[in-house]
Amino acid sequence: MGLCPTVYRFTRKTKCLLLLALCLCVLAWVAAFISGTVKPFELVPTQVQKWERMGSEVEAGLNTEPGGLYTPTELLQTKEKEEEELPKAPCPKKSPLLRGPLPLSFEPALTLGRVEGENGAVSGGQYQPADCVAQQSVAVLIPHRNREKHLLYLLHHLHPFLQRQQLHYAIYIIHQAGEETFNRAKLLNIGYLEALKDYSWDCFIFHDVDLVPENDHNLYTCDQQPKHLVVGRNSTGYKLRYKGYFGGVTALSRQQFLKVNGFPNSYWGWGGEDDDLRKRVELQRMSVVRPPAAIGRYTMVFHQRDNGNEVNKDRMRLLSKTSDMWKKDGLNSCTYQTLSVERPPLYINVTVNIGKPPSTH
Ligand code: BGC
């Protein structure tokens, strides 16, 4: 009696009212549970439940709870990031983007700004396909001096051409500083050595600045054997100049070029260095392959012979010594001074001092 005296003081009427109120409460809770508004024992949502709910709201296109743990936009971004990080599949062996022969244009009013605008996906001279892993990583090496307009036309055509081939690539301009006689072969050796400081490229394209490819089936990739890409050009009626011609544009893998010790460094002025490279290839028991004539077609941008690139009168004598010289004169003896390396959007510009031909020492 003394334990709970108030209970005993309730009248019978009060007791009935209290019981009725309790029944109503229970009924209301059961109704809420059946309608799904309330789950038994989980009246406060956990963080995981909040994320799950927001995820389904995002999928359903609802925009609720802006002040929640993640906004729907953040959730979408997180999802995109996860998708980006998924490993990409290799690009197909044959790119579906190839278009075959295309008309070329050489507009006098073309500007570098316009070419940059058309190639927004290229950065620091490099590009890789967004949605697949390229079959090869390719460094295009272009020896250069005083040919700005030719370079612009080449960049204009080469960037979309290489992108249609779904390559991971970079374009290196190797610029000979000063007024000494031009040395194409030595600049190409330097391009190879400098490009390898950036990345372990699979394949190197040794490319004259005045030759523009006409057909994107002419693949800028390396094969089992060194490849000569210029079967014909407009200026010679699209005919191969001679059986052993290996000039203009060639493709050698990193290993193939190393095996022949690169180009000779001793050819100053025009001519002979490409024949020397072919001899080196043959001395290593490799052979030259070419695309079909209908594909290996180029347009040569017209120009006069440059000052400082006169015909090399010594080339025949040098060529008669290739088999003795190839081991001593090449990548392993290429000395130069790098003056600058610049990386504007569309190419890597390596400016070098390569010295002078021996006769003018
Ligand atoms: C030269 C090569 C040149 C070829 C085609 C040859 O006589 O030695 O360097 O590429 O002619 O012009």
Extents of the domains making up the chain: 41-86, 112-360
Average pLDDT over residues 164-175: 98
Measuring from atom 9 of ligand 1, which residue has the nearest CA?
A: 271
Exactly one of 147, 201, 202, 210 is catalytic; name it: 210
pLDDT at 18: 74
Where is pLDDT greater, at 133 or 68?
A: 133
Atom of ligand 1 nearest to the CA of 246: 10
Spacing, Cα 272 to ligand 1 middle (Å):
6
Which residue ranges have their beta carbon within 6 Å of ligand 1? 241, 247, 271-272, 274-275, 315
Amino acid at 276: D
Average pLDDT over residues 215-230: 98
* pLDDT over 50 (residue 5): no
* pLDDT over 50 (residue 56): no
Question: What superfamily in CATH does domain 112-360 come from?
Answer: Spore Coat Polysaccharide Biosynthesis Protein SpsA; Chain A (3.90.550.10)
Tell me if residue 329 is catalytic. Answer: no
pLDDT at 73: 55
pLDDT at 34: 59
Average pLDDT over residues 43-62: 35
Q: Which two structure tokens, joined as six digits, stand for 229? A: 């890409």
Atom of ligand 1 nearest to the CA of 270: 9
Exactly one of 202, 214, 273, 329 is catalytic; name it: 273
Lowest mean pLDDT among 17-31, 152-166, 191-205: 17-31
Measuring from atom 8 of ligand 1, which residue has the nearest CA?
A: 272
pLDDT at 21: 74
Where is pLDDT greater, at 121 or 33?
A: 121
* pLDDT over 90 (residue 186): yes
Beta bridge partners of 250: 206, 228
Closest CA to 348 of 218, 170, 178, 190: 170
Tell me if residue 270 is catalytic. Answer: yes
pLDDT, tens digit, 9 for 90 and up, residues 224-251 = 999 999 999 999 999 999 999 999 999 9
pLDDT at 183: 98
Tell me if residue 273 is catalytic. Answer: yes
| Count of other CB atoms within 10 angstroms of residue 47 | 9
Q: Which two structure tokens, joined as six digits, stand for 327? A: 């081991």
* pLDDT over 50 (residue 67): no
Amino acid at 119: N
Spacing, Cα 217 to ligand 1 middle (Å):
26
Tell me if residue 54 is catalytic. Answer: no
Handedness of CA 55, 60, 65, 70 (dihedral sign): positive
3-state secondary structure of 101: strand
Q: Which two structure tokens, joined as six digits, stand for 75? A: 């959730």
